[in-house]
């Protein structure tokens, strides 16, 4: 009968220990992923929109121009960079994703005239999704959090094993009668 009581207590304490360890591990995983998840934002897909080029043409040529804003080609010149707080407040391109990428749009003239006024080379920007430096920093943060979590979990595992082994040794010593 005392052996049955002992086994019931051991099983109930072991189950509680497993539940507590599982809960602790779940909470650690949640809180290690939460900052990374909060820093990511869902951004609508972007494109070199006709609106941006059309607005640029209208600013350069005036709203009552007869030139077709759709007859242009755009090419990417620079890499994606983060906008400053002033740019976010003032530029429409920076308001979408808080990042911008330089593009150059060239007006395509079907008449092939050599008039310099008709050849437009407009430096402008488009919204872009990922800045390399920011993405590298996010990856380093994620990786370091995982390394820290693995190290902490390993320490917790070793500590728990030693504690359980010592408790088991004391129980065995009590059962045998060693002081």
Q: Looking at residue 13, what is its pLDDT?
A: 56
Q: pTM for this structure? A: 0.48
The domain segmentation of the chain, as residue ranges, is: 50-135
Q: How far apart are CA 75 and CA 106, in angstroms?
A: 9
Give the Cα separation of 30 and 130 in Å (integer). Answer: 25
Q: Which one is predicted more confidently, 56 or 44? A: 56
User: What residues contact residue 104 under an 8 Å CB cut-off, 6+ apart?
Assistant: 74, 75, 77, 121, 122, 123, 124
* pLDDT over 80 at 102, yes or no: yes
**Which residues, other chains included, contact 95 with Cβ-Cβ below 8 Å and sequence gap of 6+?**
88
Q: Report the mean per-residue pLDDT for the chain.
A: 74
Indicate whether 80 pLDDT > 90.
yes
Q: What is the pLDDT of residues 124-152, one digit of tens each?
A: 889 999 999 999 999 999 999 999 999 99
Residue 96: pLDDT above 80?
yes
Half-sphere exposure of 115 (CA within 13 A, CB side): 7
Judge whether residue 168 has pLDDT over 60.
Answer: yes
């Amino acid at each position: 009968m005392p052996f049955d009581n002992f086994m019931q207590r051991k099983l109930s304490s072991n189950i509680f220990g497993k539940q507590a360890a599982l809960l602790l591990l779940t909470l650690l995983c949640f809180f290690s992923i939460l900052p990374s998840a909060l820093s990511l934002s869902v951004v609508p897909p972007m494109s070199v929109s006709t609106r941006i080029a059309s607005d640029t043409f209208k600013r350069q040529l005036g709203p009552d121009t007869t030139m077709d804003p759709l007859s242009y080609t755009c090419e990417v010149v620079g890499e994606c960079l983060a906008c400053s707080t002033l740019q976010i407040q003032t530029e429409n391109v920076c308001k979408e994703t808080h990042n911008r990428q330089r593009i150059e749009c060239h007006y395509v003239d079907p008449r092939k005239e050599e008039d310099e006024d008709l050849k437009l080379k407009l430096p402008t920007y488009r919204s872009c999704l990922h800045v390399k430096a920011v993405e590298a920093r996010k990856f380093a943060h994620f990786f370091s959090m995982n390394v820290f979590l693995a190290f902490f979990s390993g320490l917790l595992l070793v500590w728990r094993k030693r504690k359980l082994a010592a408790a088991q040794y004391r129980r065995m010593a009590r059962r045998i009668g060693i002081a």
